[in-house]
Structure 1
Amino acid sequence: MRRAALPSRRAARGFTLIEVVVALVVMAVMSVMAWRAVSALSTSRERNEAAMERAETLQTLMRQWELDLREVQDSAVLPAALSFDGNALRLTRRRESGLQLVMWQLRDGRLSRWESGPVTQRDALQDAWFRSQQLSAEELRAMPGLEGVTGWQMFFFRGNSWSNAQSSGDVVDSSDAAASSPGQTTGSAKQRIAVPSGVRMQLQFGEGSGYSGELVREVAVEAPTS
């Protein structure tokens, strides 16, 4: 009777310890490479989304900036329909239900926009002017704004040239005694500062803000008198 053939020693043995270790190392390397690829893809997507969000914020604010300037309305109440003190730009803007005071201010590296409600009374417009001077940093931070701004300059187009917005502007006569309203420092009670025909804004951004270089915006101003 023939004895059944025994399996060879080579076929019967399993994986050696070295083979198992090598397989684990290969799997670990492949896992690390896959994780890095996924991580890089995720990081790239987050950066792209952040850049798109910053660009959208900037575009939205610049559209609002241009809209504000194109709807400037001389109230004949405040000394100027458009004024800049080096830190804040204030303007009166026409709305369907009255006039609105708008202020753009740079504080703590953030350019913020504040607006009052539309008003129809002289006293209410003066109150809004006072209110714009008393806003706290917390209130401004709650308003729409742009982070990372380190500085800004403003120029008005008067006559046939650009000049510093803080320089003296043309004075126009007014028969409204309300021209002596709060904030007027020059001129008589029957004079106001003429509205410039254009505004140029230059913004500088800090490192890490996501913006580079300098942003320049020029807007033509057409301000019909009230």
Structure 2
Amino acid sequence: MLKTVVAVSCACVTIEMAAMQPVAAENVPKQLVGTWLAEDIGGGGVIDNLQSTLEIREDGTYGGMAGCNHFTGTFGLSGSKITFGPAASTRKMCVPAVMNQEQKFLEALRSELTWTIDGSKLVLGKAGGGIGVRLASMAAGSEGSDVTIRIPGADSVDRQTVRYDCGGKAIEAEYINAGPVSLVTFTIDGAFVVASNVISGSGAKYAGGQYVWWTKGEEATLFDAMKGDEDKGVACKPAS
């Protein structure tokens, strides 16, 4: 059984690691290396706009974002079999639905698994049959696509980019204003977010996916709806 030691002064948890050596770098297949996004966990699908990711590295370590918490550990390979060792993880709490997906994702990785690559998909199969986790490569289509929207009544488009420091995390926000439409776009934890202006009592408030971006003056606050109504948000200040 894994032993946990919770540090009261920080949002983290240390998990005792099993005696497991990472697979030698030259033995990690190149097609397995990369960051993968979970599309299905145990046949139950996943929550829209919630990313559970798995990064498999060529040095024999793995990590990612389970849904609410980041994790990291080492893995072993034996032919088509892959074994993920116990992981060290942060210890944040999100809303129940997010924590439920995170638990299922991490439990699936602790199972005895086989791996196969099908195009841009990584399928982690259960030893007894069936799919443990099906994931899609996050490198596929990374160049992106352009989307053009015609906005009635808009004579011109104003675009401004501002770089912020959000609690030590760099976020570049682009504000797009065209007639009655006001948007902000930014990337956080590998996810590209498009948020639209919504009614607010003060400042400019944008909502997109699980995030709310609220500006007041030169500063902004980033809220994550997955953390529930108690989320106080992260203060973002213009980076110098």
- Using the size of structure 1 for normalisation, the TM-score is 0.28
- Which structure is higher in strand share? 2
TM-score, normalised to structure 2, is 0.27
